[in-house]
Structure 1
Amino acid sequence: MKIVLIEDEDMLRKSLAFFLNSKNFEVIEFDNGIDAIEYIQNEHNTIDVIITDLNLPFAGGKQVIHACKQIPDNKTQIIVLTSSSVENTELEVFNLGADEFVAKPFSPSVLLKRIEKLTSA
């Protein structure tokens, strides 16, 4: 299963990628939204889950969600990670088309359960 992980905080991205790799996921890492969007547009048929922060350089998580939803017949699941646990932000990302919302700080094990839940449905 392939996961695209978009997080600009290096330590969090690398530790989360290490954790997910240890659970037999293939993880493609990006530290900004622009590069991630380009990759997603070209490889969307091979991606199962996108995990994105909201606050990213060049293009934010909302732009990533929007770009994903513009791809016809795209079935990729989207999980938003953010330190902004404001209810309006959560509602906005769900309205944009995100499938799951996880507030930082979070447990990698809880994130794993949410990934499993989304991909088994």
Structure 2
Amino acid sequence: MKIVIIEDEDMLRRSLAFFLKSKDFDVEEFDNGLDAIEYINSNHEDIDIVITDLNLPFAGGKQVIHACKQIKDNKMQIIVLTSSSVENTEIEVFNLGADEFVAKPFSPQVLLKRIEKLSAF
């Protein structure tokens, strides 16, 4: 299963990537939304799950969600990570097309369960 992680906080991104790779996922990492969107547009057929922060340099998580949803016949699932646990933010990202919402701080095991749940569809 191919997962794209978009997180500008280096330590979190690297530790998540390490954790997911240890669970046999194929992981691509990006520290900004713009590079991630370019990658997703070119490789969307191979991507199963996109995990994105909302607050990112160059293009935010909402733009990432929008870009993913613009791809025809896209089967990617989207998980949003954010330190904003405000209900309005959660509703907004679901309305944009996100499949899951995980508030920071979170346990990698919780994220793994969310991934497993989405991959069952």
Q: Do Structure 1 and Structure 2 share a fold, with TM-score over 0.5?
A: yes
Letter in 2 for 1:115: I
The gaps in structure 1 that reach 5 residues or longer are: none
TM-score normalised by length of structure 1: 0.99
Matches of 1:46 and 1:64, distance apart in 2? 17
Matches of 1:119 and 1:97, distance apart in 2? 16
Write the deviation string for residues 14-60 of structure 1: whole angstroms up to 9, x where unpaired: 00000000000011000000000000000000000000000000000
> Which residue is equivalent to 2:108?
108
Letter in 2 for 1:81: L
The gaps in structure 2 that reach 5 residues or longer are: none
Matches of 2:46 and 2:77, distance apart in 1? 12
> Which residue is equivalent to 1:21?
21
> Which residue is equivalent to 2:91?
91
Q: Tell me the number of residue pairs that the alignment of Structure 1 and Structure 2 aligns.
A: 121
User: CA RMSD of the aligned region, Å?
Assistant: 0.3
Deviation at 1:88, TM superposition (A): 0.3
Write the deviation string for residues 54-75 of structure 1: whole angstroms up to 9, x where unpaired: 0000000000000000001101
> Which residue is equivalent to 2:57?
57
Dislocated runs of 4+, deviation >4 Å: none
> Which residue is equivalent to 1:37?
37
Matches of 2:27 and 2:68, distance apart in 1? 18
Deviation at 1:92, TM superposition (A): 0.3
Deviation at 1:107, TM superposition (A): 0.4
TM-score normalised by length of structure 2: 0.99
